[in-house]
Amino acid sequence: MSDDFLRKPFSLAPAPAADEATTSNYASGASKFSSGPVSPYLNYDSRYLQRAQPEFIFPEGANKQRGRFELAFSQIGTSVMIGGGIGGLAGVYNGFKATNALNQTGKLRRTQLLNHIMKQGSGTANSLGTLAVLYSACGVLLQYARGEDDHVNTIIAGSATGLLYKSTAGLRRCALGGAVGLGISSLYCLYLLAQERGNSSSPKFL
């Protein structure tokens, strides 16, 4: 099967050109290369390539996508950066408001603005990042525990994040946090499902 498969693409159009190139360039070694399909762009005998295995990687064979662990760091980093950006902008706004109210100018105002930006930016970045760390840790643990990566993981991880984040604020708020996490993650899953359905059905009908 592999031999037939190998010869097909090479023998279509560039076969005579390839033969010419090999005979002219490697006059002495031409007889060696004649048996296999040799590209003129290779400087070594393609018989050394392993033929027993399939030579192309088919996308349907690759069921192992990137797992949650590989995505976790970029998710955390994204949320930290977004949190820092939002907090920094809010810090600029609040800093201007506070310094204008107190009539501070010059160096004092600059330092106060920097203080506001640093404080609010790091605060928002830290809380968003902590949420992302909790979510990713729950997701990775669930993926390892259950052995598969699907929407159930997302929903459980989202609710667990909400519960954990508000776990020291009393039972009622803890439950509220869990409910918010559950709601957000199920909305996200619904969105993903809708997108999947749209993606999978459109090429079939086309």
Positions in the binding site for other proteins (CB under 8 A): 29, 32, 43-45, 47-48, 66, 69-70, 72-81, 114, 122, 125-127, 129-130, 132-133, 136-137, 168
Q: Which segments of 45-170 does DSSP mark as H helices, in order?
A: 68-102, 106-146, 151-165
Cα–Cα distance for residue pair 187/75, rounded to 1 Å:
18
DSSP one-letter code for 11: T
Closest approach, Cβ 84 to other proteins, in A, equals 8
Euclidean distance between CA atoms 114 and 107, whole angstroms? 11
CA–CA gap between residue 192 and residue 120 (Å, rounded):
33
C-beta of 27: minimal distance to other proteins in Å?
A: 15
- Cβ atoms within 10 Å of 75's Cβ, excluding its own: 16
Question: Is the CB of 128 or the CB of 182 nearer to other proteins?
Answer: 128
Residue 126, both tokens? 């830290």
Distance of alpha carbon 170 from alpha carbon 176, whole angstroms: 10
What is the rounded distance in angstroms from the CA atom of residue 131 to the CA atom of residue 158?
A: 10
Instruction: Tell me the closest approach of the beta carbon of residue 168 to other proteins, in angstroms.
Output: 6
Residue placing its CB nearer to other proteins in the complex, 112 or 186:
112
Of 144 and 196, nearer to other proteins (C-beta) is 144
| Closest separation in Å from C-beta 60 to other proteins | 19
For other proteins, give the closer residue by CB, 126 or 186. 126
Which is nearer to other proteins, 32 or 197 (by Cβ)?
A: 32
Residue 47 C-beta: closest distance to other proteins, Å:
8
Q: In terms of CB distance, is 18 or 134 closer to other proteins?
A: 134
CB-based contact 40:18 (threshold 8 Å)? yes
Task: Supply the minimum distance, in Å, between the C-beta of residue 23 and other proteins.
Answer: 17
Using CA atoms, how far apart are residues 139 and 122, in angstroms rounded to an integer?
25
